[in-house]
Structure 1
Amino acid sequence: MATVDGVPASTAQLAALALTNYGHFTTLRVEEGGGVRGLGLHLERLVRDCAAVFGAALDPERVRGYVREACVREAADGRSGALNVRVTVFDPALDIVRPAEPAGDPRVLVTVRPAGGLFPPPLRVTARPYRRDVPAVKHVGLFGPLALRREARRAGFDDVLFTEPGPGLAPGGEALVTEGCTWNVGFVDAAGRVVWPAADVLPGVTMRLLRQARPGALVRPVRMGELPALRAAFATNAAIGVRAVHAVDGHRFPADDPVLAELRAAYAALPEDRLAD
């Protein structure tokens, strides 16, 4: 069931979001029992993005309550296991002709679906040039990324990895790796150090948790041409945890690098915040 501010969503509310496609969201994984890794970071993101997108304040405890109620309903309906909960903030009164007018009262849409297992099978991806609009905001404008994901899957890949020209590079020059379609990407260098691309990307909650759990990682530009010198690659987001990337176009990475196992163990060991607290 989709709810807006804790009650079943109306057709008019959903139509307003669909027709304007303006808002922001976060997706969090709620483990059976109500625990969430990085709950505070997810709520912090919603508050920050609401100020950026709507110029409005958002009460994080209000959001927490809506998520808790949605999970309780799922349990009451007999559904068990982990859940992926998406929280979308939008304004049904937004005027597509005059979007600069002050936001009325941004609403909180909560949707729930069963979560798959953490750490799913490795990904095979293709690199494509693309830069998301307003990369620092997790917004609902997903047409560009999903169009490229669709092309990648039609070409036989699992997903798409984004690149952009490096500083001072002419068009067609060596590109910089940025992020995945709906995930952050990381690498392991020859010395066993984790490397995060230095790029204008979404600061993913899972990436932030891993950087806290495993300090000492490098943050630097990663060029496509240096992939053969790197030992392993992985994707991260709240739904998948740490997922190996075993190929970028024609270059293959091992999916069983021990550093990836260490990252998975570190992520699994993170304390869970309780929705009921």
Structure 2
Amino acid sequence: MPPLIRLEIDGREPTIEELYHPLLVNYGHLTALQVRDGRVQALALHLERLVAATRELFDADLDPALVRGHLRHAVRDVSDASIRINVYQPADELMIVVAVRPPAFPPSTPVSLRSVPYVRPAAHLKHLGSFGQLYFGRLAEREGFDDALLTGPGGEIAESAIHNIGFFDGTAVVWPSAPHLAGIQMLALNPGLEAAGLPVRSAPVHLADVGAYRAAFLTNSIGVVEVRRIDEVALPGDPDFHRLVVSAAAAVPWDAI
């Protein structure tokens, strides 16, 4: 993981005592985003994610304006960065942790995925329980793959360890319907895909189906990357389709913090 530029809790430098809870209690949620020239793509969706997860996990209301203020303070002298905003509740009050790191960029070449029999608990939440993803991701790398592809019973595909995955059947983009996190990039990308004439739908996708698809791609806050292989199945790829997806992702508006 890239080195920290800054870590703030509730808009200020934390004390050692304040760090005990995030270090020792693995219960909370987060959003991850990229800042470019003081702007964030789909910032409203990130804030909505944090508000909804806070209500579900802590039965508490999170003020999105407060989060935005803490983010603005954390990047006050940094124009480009990778950000993680974590939310905890050590006692009766919420704790907002903003970590600032150097900006990240998607791989410049297509990636390969190793399927693993694992689906994240409470998969609709971007929560802190990431042991399974890290464990299987490292195993995949040891076998020569770039990342793990999480699958449920019967080989039903859900998501990669840290991305959503989309498939192209030649006419439409298919997002797997197995339990997964609805990623911000995925949500923000869909309108642009449809505007470009690419229908978008959600449906079950199984490992046995992979060979029937023309192309696949991953999305997260860092960007879009082409998938060249899943297990031993090589995907033909479609350069025109991939250029369209990258273009649609680039067209998502950047909001001032």
1:194, 1:218 within 8 Å by CA — same for their partners in 2? yes
2:190, 2:200 within 8 Å by CA — same for their partners in 1? yes
Equivalent residue, structure 2, for 1:97: none
Residue identity (%) = 38
2:134 is the alignment partner of 1:154: no
Rate the CA distance shift 1:161–1:3 in 2: closer, same or farther, 3 A. Answer: same
What is the 5 A alignment of 1:1-277?
1-31=6-36, 33-74=37-78, 82-93=80-91, 104-118=92-106, 120-165=108-153, 174-189=154-169, 191-215=170-194, 216-239=199-222, 241-254=223-236, 257-275=239-257
The whole-number CA distance in structure 2 between the counterparts of 1:66 and 1:261 is 36
The whole-number CA distance in structure 1 between the counterparts of 2:145 and 2:225 is 15
Cα drift, residue 223 of structure 1: 1.3
The whole-number CA distance in structure 2 between the counterparts of 1:257 and 1:129 is 30
The whole-number CA distance in structure 2 between the counterparts of 1:120 and 1:47 is 34
Question: Residue 233 of structure 2 aligns to which amino acid in structure 1?
Answer: H
What TM-score, normalized to structure 2? 0.92
Cα drift, residue 47 of structure 1: 0.1
The whole-number CA distance in structure 1 between the counterparts of 2:142 and 2:27 is 28
Q: For the pair shown, which has the larger CA radius of gyration, 1 or 2?
A: 1
The whole-number CA distance in structure 1 between the counterparts of 2:114 and 2:229 is 8
The whole-number CA distance in structure 2 between the counterparts of 1:226 and 1:58 is 41
SS at match of 2:205: coil
The whole-number CA distance in structure 1 between the counterparts of 2:19 and 2:231 is 38
The whole-number CA distance in structure 1 between the counterparts of 2:100 and 2:237 is 30
Cα drift, residue 208 of structure 1: 0.4
2:124, 2:181 within 8 Å by CA — same for their partners in 1? yes
What TM-score, normalized to structure 1? 0.86
2:87, 2:95 within 8 Å by CA — same for their partners in 1? yes
In structure 2, list runs of 5 or more residues that go unmatched.
1-5
The whole-number CA distance in structure 1 between the counterparts of 2:238 and 2:191 is 23
The whole-number CA distance in structure 1 between the counterparts of 2:218 and 2:253 is 21
1:185, 1:235 within 8 Å by CA — same for their partners in 2? yes
Over the aligned positions, Cα root-mean-square deviation in angstroms equals 1.4
The whole-number CA distance in structure 2 between the counterparts of 1:122 and 1:112 is 27
SS at match of 1:73: coil
Cα drift, residue 156 of structure 1: 1.5
Cα drift, residue 84 of structure 1: 0.9
In structure 1, list runs of 5 or more residues that go unmatched.
76-81, 94-103, 166-173
User: 1:109-152 CA distances to partner (integer Å, 9 max, x unpaired)?
Assistant: 00011122346432111000111111111101111111111111
Question: Residue 236 of structure 1 aligns to which amino acid in structure 2?
Answer: T
1:232, 1:253 within 8 Å by CA — same for their partners in 2? yes
User: 1:209-261 CA distances to partner (integer Å, 9 max, x unpaired)?
Assistant: 1112222212111111111110011110001x111111111111245531111
Question: Residue 197 of structure 1 aligns to which amino acid in structure 2?
Answer: P
Question: Residue 225 of structure 2 aligns to which amino acid in structure 1?
Answer: R
